[in-house]
A = this chain, B = another copy of it.
Amino acid sequence: MRPVAIIGIGDTRFGELWEHSLRDIGMQAGISAVSDANIAGEQIEALYIGNMAAGSLIDQEHLGALVADYSGLASLHLPAVRIEAAGASGGMALREGYMAVASGMHDIVMVAGAEKMTDVADDEIPMIQMAGSDQQWEGLTGATMASLYAMIARRHMHEFGTTREQIASVSVKNHRNGAWNPSAQYQKAVDMETVLKSPMVADPLGVFDCAPISDGSAAVILAPLELAKKYTDEPVVISASAAATDTLALHHRASITRFDSVKAASDLAYKRAGIRPKDIDVAEVHDSFTIAEILNIEDLGFFEKGKGGAATLEGMTEINGVVSVNTSGGLKSRGDPMGATGIAQAVEVVRQLRGKAEKRQVSDAEYGLSLNVGGTGATSVVHIYRRG
């Protein structure tokens, strides 16, 4: 397998994009990635689309062909396919695109993620989100995604003494970062009191502990490293791509305060990249709920199990902390258009490694990591990146 680099990135602002359809936003992100990569659209040899639920959300499947078509590439007859792994659809799409280039099957590949969530009634969303969990044994018995993560939070508090303030500090940090990100859904800092007093969703998690419903799209262009330098002076190498699964339902796990799929995927990724957790400078992780970020930074090996909450409250995951986590604002503040999220994570890491993250730039960032999670950890995808 040959080394693969990201040579172009693009994204839309995340949010309630009433004026744009799914095909619009997919196209916008794609065109901006093509332009950033200094390639012509006709050079794209294959297209991978991360999307979780367009079938349920807008009655449209077949997004591979759709995006190829509406990007003006239909006459190329290139292979295009949609990749789905619930909230980890974007990350899994990146992994498939990575393999397509690493294998030698294709040179220039576009991987895009897109989701249009605001076109359905609010009361349809929980059922669609629970399609990423075990609908039969969790969703249909009344569990919502927030209630499952609330149980995780309660148990984490019980086992490790994690406090409500520690959990809330994830939201405060991510909103602060998001305020500096022009692509973020919420570009506004919030204080601890606002998070603690926000309306309850599922005890102990309030509104400000939950990532929003979002529309949005993000895209990257991949190329073999040897070719990358033809197009850019600042390629970002994908040092490792790894994915892992676990039981679909939370109640089948030995423990609900760790995600074994995160540990399995990240252990493999560190090994493939030849580095250790402490080598990571900047990480985008899957804070669909504040408690999830605490689990993530523990399971990724950044902090000991049970210490993630304290580390966050003490500022260790702030920009230029021990490790800068969710500089984009994360899912909480940047937004979470499900299939787009994994690609948006890659886009942020590339901006950081290029030194182009402006007010939220991490000093001398050399290694980056993204962790994209589906459901309650039934799928985890980890990518490690380095300056090329």
Contact = CB atoms under 8 A, between A and B. Distances in A.
Given A81-B83, A103-B99, A61 B132 contact: yes
A79 interface: yes
Contact of A69 (B53, B68, B135, B245): B245
B104 A1 contact: yes
A64 interface: yes
Nearest to A101: B103
A56 B56 contact: yes
Nearest to A22: B136
A102 B81 CA distance: 18
Contacts of A60: 131, 135-136
Nearest to A380: B77
A246 B75 CA distance: 7
Interface residues on A, range: 35 or more
A130 B100 CA distance: 29
Given A59-B139, A61-B132, A83-B83, A244 B103 contact: no
A82 interface: yes
Contact of A65 (B58, B79, B85): B85
Interface string A227-263: 0000000000000001111111100100000001100
A72 to B, nearest CB: 11
A77 B379 contact: no
A96 interface: yes
A5 interface: no
Given A56-B56, A56-B61, A80-B243, 19 more contacts: A1-B103, A1-B104, A23-B136, A59-B131, A62-B133, A62-B378, A64-B92, A65-B248, A65-B378, A66-B378, A74-B247, A77-B244, A77-B246, A79-B95, A79-B242, A79-B244, A80-B245, A81-B84, A82-B83
6 contacts: A56-B56, A59-B128, A62-B378, A62-B379, A65-B86, A81-B85
